[in-house]
Amino acid sequence: MDIAAQRKRGRPPKRIDGGLETRQALVRAGVIALTEKGFAATGIDDVLTQVGVPKGSFYHYFASKEAFGAELIDSYAAYFDHKLDRWLGDRRQPPLGRLHDFMADARRGMQRHDYRRGCLVGNLGQEMAALPESFRARLIEVLLGWQQRLQVCLEEAQAAGELAAGHDCAQLAGFFWIGWEGAVLRAKLERRAAPLDCFSRGYLALLGATAPEGFGFTKEG
Amino acid sequence: MDIAAQRKRGRPPKRIDGGLETRQALVRAGVIALTEKGFAATGIDDVLTQVGVPKGSFYHYFASKEAFGAELIDSYAAYFDHKLDRWLGDRRQPPLGRLHDFMADARRGMQRHDYRRGCLVGNLGQEMAALPESFRARLIEVLLGWQQRLQVCLEEAQAAGELAAGHDCAQLAGFFWIGWEGAVLRAKLERRAAPLDCFSRGYLALLGATAPEGFGFTKEG
DNA sequence: GGAATACTAGACTGGCCGGCTAGAAAATCA
DNA sequence: TGATTTTCTAGCCGGCCAGTCTAGTATTCC
Query: What residue of B is the nearest CA neighbor of A221?
Result: B166
Alpha-carbon distance of B141 to B73, in angstroms, equals: 11
Phi, psi of A199 (to 5 degrees): -70, -40
Residue A21 burial by CB count (10 A; 0-12/13-18/19+): exposed, middle or buried? Answer: exposed
Residues B73-207: name the CATH superfamily.
Answer: Tetracycline Repressor, domain 2 (1.10.357.10)
Chain segment B154-213, per-residue pLDDT in tens = 999 999 999 999 999 999 999 999 999 999 999 999 999 999 999 999 999 999 854 444
Q: Nearest-CA distance from B74 to chain A in Å?
A: 17
Q: What is the pLDDT along chain A (221 residues), one digit of tens a residue?
A: 333 334 555 455 445 454 567 899 999 999 999 999 999 999 999 999 999 888 888 999 999 999 999 999 999 999 999 999 999 999 999 999 999 999 999 999 999 999 999 999 999 999 999 999 999 999 999 999 999 999 999 999 999 999 999 999 999 999 999 999 999 999 999 999 999 999 999 999 999 854 444 445 766 54
Which nucleotides in chain D lie less than 7 Å from some protein C-beta?
A: 6-12, 16-28
Q: Which CATH number fits domain A2-207: 1.20.810.10, 3.40.1370.10, 1.10.10.10, 1.10.357.10?
A: 1.10.357.10
Q: Report H helices in chain B.
A: 2-6, 20-37, 44-51, 55-61, 65-88, 95-112, 120-127, 134-159, 169-190, 194-207
CB contacts of A206 in chain B (<8 Å) are 202, 205-206, 217
CA distances from A141 to A4, A75, A134, A135, B9 (A): 38, 14, 12, 10, 53
Q: Is the CB of B54 under 7 A from strand D?
A: no
- pLDDT above 50 for B6: no
CB contacts of B218 in chain A (<8 Å) are 164, 166-168
CB pairs A-B closer than 8 Å? 158
Q: Is the CB of A12 under 7 A from strand D?
A: yes
CA of B27, C1' of C6: distance in angstroms: 20
**Contact present, A151 and A71 (Cβ < 8 Å):** no
CA of B19, C1' of C1: distance in angstroms: 27
